[in-house]
């Protein structure tokens, strides 16, 4: 065939050459068709069928038994085996004829059945349209090492409820000439329950030309003939060797048969009701006297039935039992059915049940954003964890002011997922409480997370001030700025101020703690007689809020001028007979030979200083003192014209400003100017100053501080009265009221448990209020 194709191809190549030598006057034509002649290309390969036991057969699928490696399809007409051992080989499937497209191959299933021990050789002949392929096919016949000594073992008839043993039964024999290691034995289908091994199973070595004996048992579970297999595993061709087992169950006495209906796994619940079906397959009444549970998890199962229970022949009874557990995992027990029947009085069933769990939770049951500005966006993360042993999915919903991009999540067992949450901000001031609800889609368990906080605009308060100064001179006055909000306020930059006004020093940025105050010194330096009022704009952070304060300046021309001022002083808590002087500075042009008298009013924080025998009142938390003096002679440049003495107290803050709110000379021709001072309280809430107990009307100390478990708050009252002891967070929120009752004068204490009040690490204020006095101490909690 190849020779014919080559001759035809040569003829077609030489044909145009022959015609080219003909006279040019011959008629010629050119065809529009393009054509070519192609040759199909086929391929195959040798085949090795491997080993097979003599007397058995082996099937193998041969991939690419014939392939088309050319560019054109061809037909496979037939295949056959030839040679000495051709009879040992055959086709199971994949016989021709068929067409093989270009670039494709064909597979076939072959069988090898050795006729002798040793190598079998033959040829596989494949006849195609393109060619005839001849490939070598081989296989090896192997002598069996192990054979069943008896094809079957028949136990015969056995009464239901009873059993029959076959002792010393010969099972397998080593027919080879080498020892064989049996690695294991196994009972297998169709019935691998009624047939069991008493002894002789497991691993053993079988010597050449020797047999193995075993003790076997047949205990029928139903009427009728049944069969099973006994398999022997070894390292060699033909493993496992198989022996067939037969037996037949027959009726005679009342015979019990029981089975457990399918027990569904517990997931969402901790209890399920299940059923055991008990049948009497004997020919007389079966009496069940009770059912107990035994085994490691016996307490997880209980019976719902009243006994005894009678079951007629060929009848059944459904008995309910509960599976009840709260712990995760597989639970096993043995159900013991007590009966009146031969030969056994107890029938046992193995029970296996399982408890799975889906449990979602979040560590962040409450997320407190604290205090922040109106319309401020806040972002946080919530963590949802599945502590169960099954994966689950959850639906998430929120209130209107929260935004979550994930409305449905999936969480694997013992995994957690962080979810971004955005608070969209609220315009109005006040506390808020938003809620996130996470619902498990399998058990519908719900986890709620509360987002709390407070919207607050920081507020400062400052009174307008008026300053009088002599032309060509300057006068300073303190502008007191109070923080009346529950969080710290910062004035970042100095306000714009123009001459004749200026700010002394550069106190900016100025931090004013919550419910505290600070002072700015304003200097007025008039250059002419024109009065002037300016407006200062203070910008506070956070929240970028502006506050306006008016500063008025009045110039004057005078030959007589005095400056009355209170100096800055410092006193330790509990110090008695502590005096604060009132001084006068006169200008050099003032010459007076007559004595003067004055009246003055001084105001300061009432919690800082308790005056002795001085006319004073308390007004809006400030103490107002009235001072006066007669026969004052201004003999020098600086003169102390009076003072007020008393005891330094446990103050609300460590510094209070001493302000001269009124001052009058009896001589109206003397110009009077004032300058405020301050009192710094040292030793605030220190337990080392023992004299406080003797002289202060109110004392408090905390031991230990910092605290991680238990701290004792000790305080002493100088007189009987209502006492309120509160715990306040760093955000100004009241955490707890510890004491609120009337108490007698003397020493008292309160044990504060960090665990009882679930205090997290941070700084807290312990505030003691009694008889109009307030003590504020810091408590630090460290876990």
* pLDDT (mean) for 351-374: 89
What is the predicted pLDDT for the residue at 166?
87
Burial class (CB in 10 A: 0-12, 13-18, 19+), 178: exposed
What is the predicted pLDDT for the residue at 21?
37
Peptide bond into 240 cis (omega under 30): yes
* pLDDT at position 32 over 60: no
Place of tokens 């609800």: 437
Quick one: pLDDT band at residue 667, thresholds 50, 70, 90? confident
- Cα separation, 150 vs 135, in Å, equals 42
Rounded to 5 degrees, φ, ψ at 253 are -100, 175
* pLDDT (mean) for 566-574: 86
* pLDDT (mean) for 547-576: 84
- Cα separation, 537 vs 550, in Å, equals 9
* pLDDT (mean) for 31-46: 66
Contact between 426 and 375 under an 8 Å Cβ cutoff? The reply is yes
Tokens of 679: 């009192």
Give the rounded percent of residues in the chain with a pLDDT score beyond 90: 32
* pLDDT at position 686 over 60: no
Q: Quote the DSSP letter at residue 707.
A: B
* pLDDT at position 152 over 90: no
User: Regarding beta strands 152-159 and 74-82, do their DSSP bridges make them parallel or antiparallel, or are they unpaired?
Assistant: unpaired
Higher pLDDT, 778 or 460: 460
- Cα separation, 680 vs 27, in Å, equals 131
Q: Quote the DSSP letter at residue 616.
A: E
Tokens of 268: 């969402």
- Cα separation, 401 vs 403, in Å, equals 7
H or E segment to which residue 383 belongs:
strand 378-386
Rounded to 5 degrees, φ, ψ at 709 are -135, -70
Q: In this structure, how many other beta carbons lie within 10 angstroms of the beta carbon of residue 60?
A: 17
Q: Could you tell me how far CA 201 lies from the centroid of its own chain?
A: 52
Rounded to 5 degrees, φ, ψ at 703 are -135, 130
Quick one: pLDDT band at residue 8, thresholds 50, 70, 90? very low
What is the predicted pLDDT for the residue at 692?
33
- Cα separation, 19 vs 325, in Å, equals 102
Entry pTM = 0.41
Q: In what order do the strands lie in the sheet with 501-503?
A: 460-462, 475-483, 517-524, 501-503
* pLDDT (mean) for 374-387: 91
Higher pLDDT, 238 or 749: 749
What is the predicted pLDDT for the residue at 613?
79
What is the predicted pLDDT for the residue at 24?
37
* pLDDT (mean) for 68-88: 89
What is the predicted pLDDT for the residue at 381?
92
* pLDDT at position 28 over 50: no
* pLDDT at position 684 over 70: no
Domains of the chain: 42-142 (2.60.40.10), 146-250 (2.60.40.10), 256-355 (2.60.40.10), 360-452 (2.60.40.10), 460-556 (2.60.40.10), 561-682 (2.60.40.680), 697-781 (2.60.40.1930)
Quick one: pLDDT band at residue 511, thresholds 50, 70, 90? very high
Give the rounded percent of residues in the chain with a pLDDT score beyond 70: 89
Peptide bond into 163 cis (omega under 30): no
* pLDDT (mean) for 340-359: 82
What is the predicted pLDDT for the residue at 369?
87
Q: Which candidate, 557, 564, 644, places its Cα nearest to that of 598?
A: 564
Higher pLDDT, 724 or 652: 724
User: Regarding beta strands 510-512 and 578-586, do their DSSP bridges make them parallel or antiparallel, or are they unpaired?
Assistant: unpaired
| Residue 223, CB-side half-sphere exposure with 13 Å CA sphere | 14
Residue 297 CB partners (closer than 8 Å, separation 6+): 325, 331, 332, 333
Q: In this structure, how many other beta carbons lie within 10 angstroms of the beta carbon of residue 436?
A: 22
- Cα separation, 229 vs 197, in Å, equals 12
* pLDDT at position 586 over 80: no
Tens-place pLDDT, residues 244-293? 899 988 876 788 888 998 888 898 888 999 999 999 887 788 889 999 99
What is the predicted pLDDT for the residue at 209?
84
H or E segment to which residue 216 belongs:
strand 211-218
Of 202-216, 552-566, 678-692, give the range with the top mean pLDDT.
202-216
* pLDDT at position 760 over 50: yes
* pLDDT (mean) for 449-478: 87
């Amino acid at each position: 065939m190849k020779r014919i194709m080559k001759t035809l191809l040569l003829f077609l190549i030489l044909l145009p050459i022959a015609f080219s030598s003909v006279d040019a006057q011959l008629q010629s034509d050119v065809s529009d068709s393009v054509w070519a002649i192609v040759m199909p290309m086929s391929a195959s390969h040798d085949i090795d069928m491997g080993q097979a036991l003599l007397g058995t057969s082996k099937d193998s699928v041969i991939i690419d038994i014939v392939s088309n490696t050319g560019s054109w399809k061809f037909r496979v007409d037939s295949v056959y085996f030839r040679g000495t051992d051709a009879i040992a080989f055959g086709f199971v499937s994949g016989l021709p004829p068929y067409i093989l497209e270009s670039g494709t191959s064909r597979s076939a299933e072959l069988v090898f059945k050795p006729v002798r021990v040793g190598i079998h050789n033959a040829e596989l002949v494949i006849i195609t349209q393109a060619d005839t392929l001849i490939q070598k096919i081989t296989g090896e016949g192997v002598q069996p090492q192990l054979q069943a000594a008896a094809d079957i073992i028949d136990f015969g008839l056995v009464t239901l409820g009873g059993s029959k043993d076959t002792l010393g039964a010969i099972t397998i024999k080593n027919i080879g000439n080498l020892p064989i290691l049996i690695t294991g034995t196994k009972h297998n289908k169709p019935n691998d329950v009624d047939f069991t091994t008493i002894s002789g199973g497991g691993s053993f070595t079988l010597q050449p030309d020797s047999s193995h004996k075993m003790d076997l048992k047949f205990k029928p579970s139903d009427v009728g003939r049944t069969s099973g297999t006994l398999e022997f595993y070894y390292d060699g061709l033909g493993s496992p060797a198989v022996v067939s087992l037969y037996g037949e169950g027959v009726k005679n006495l009342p015979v019990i048969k029981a089975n457990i209906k399918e027990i569904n796994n517990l997931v969402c619940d901790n209890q399920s009701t299940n059923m055991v079906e008990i049948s009497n397959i004997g020919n007389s009444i079966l009496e069940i006297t009770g059912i107990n549970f035994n085994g490691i998890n016996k307490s997880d199962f209980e019976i719902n039935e009243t006994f005894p229970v009678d079951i007629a022949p060929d009848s059944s009874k459904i008995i309910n039992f509960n599976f009840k557990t709260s712990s995760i995992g597989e639970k096993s027990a043995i159900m013991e059915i007590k009966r009146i029947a031969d030969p056994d009085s107890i029938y046992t069933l193995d029970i296996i049940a399982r408890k799975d769990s889906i449990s979602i939770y979040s560590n962040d049951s409450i997320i407190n954003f604290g205090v922040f500005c109106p319309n401020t966006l806040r972002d946080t993360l919530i963590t949802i964890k599945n502590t169960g042993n099954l994966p689950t999915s959850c639906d998430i919903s929120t209130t209107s002011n929260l935004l979550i991009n994930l409305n449905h999540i999936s969480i694997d067992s013992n995994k957690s997922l962080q979810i971004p949450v955005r608070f969209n901000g609220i315009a109005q001031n006040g506390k808020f409480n938003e809620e996130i609800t996470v619902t498990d889609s399998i058990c519908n368990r719900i986890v709620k997370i509360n987002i709390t906080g407070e919207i607050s605009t920081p507020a400062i308060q400052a009174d307008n001030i008026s300053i009088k100064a002599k032309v060509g001179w300057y006068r300073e006055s303190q502008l007191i700025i109070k923080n009346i909000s529950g969080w710290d306020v910062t004035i970042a930059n100095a306000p714009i101020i123009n001459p004749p006004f200026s700010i002394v020093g550069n106190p900016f940025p100025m931090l004013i703690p919550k419910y505290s105050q600070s002072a700015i010194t304003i200097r007025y330096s008039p250059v002419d007689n024109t009065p002037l009022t300016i407006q200062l704009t203070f910008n506070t952070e956070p929240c970028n809020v502006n506050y306006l304060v008016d500063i008025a300046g009045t110039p004057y021309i005078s030959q007589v001028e005095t400056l009355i001022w209170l100096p800055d002083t410092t006193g330790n808590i509990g110090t008695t007979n502590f005096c604060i002087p009132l001084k006068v500075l006169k200008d050099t042009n003032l010459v007076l030979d007559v004595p003067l008298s004055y009246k003055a009013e001084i105001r300061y924080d009432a919690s800082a200083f308790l005056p002795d025998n001085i006319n004073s009142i308390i007004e809006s938390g400030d103490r107002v003192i009235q001072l006066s003096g007669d026969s004052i002679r201004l003999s020098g440049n600086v003169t102390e014209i009076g003072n007020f003495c008393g005891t330094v107290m446990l103050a609300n803050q460590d510094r209070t400003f001493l302000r001269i709110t009124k001052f009058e000379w009896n001589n109206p021709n003397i110009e009077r100017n004032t300058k405020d001072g301050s009192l710094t309280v040292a030793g605030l809430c220190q337990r080392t100053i023992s004299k406080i107990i003797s002289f202060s009307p109110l004392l408090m100390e905390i031991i230990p501080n910092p605290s991680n478990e238990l701290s004792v708050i000790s305080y002493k009252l100088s007189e009987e009265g209502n006492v309120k002891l509160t715990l306040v967070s760093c955000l100004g929120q009241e955490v707890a009221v510890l004491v609120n009752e009337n108490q007698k004068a003397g020493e008292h204490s309160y044990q504060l448990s960090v665990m009882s009040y679930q205090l997290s690490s941070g700084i807290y204020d312990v505030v003691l209020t009694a008889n109009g006095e307030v003590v504020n101490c810091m408590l630090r909690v460290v876990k």
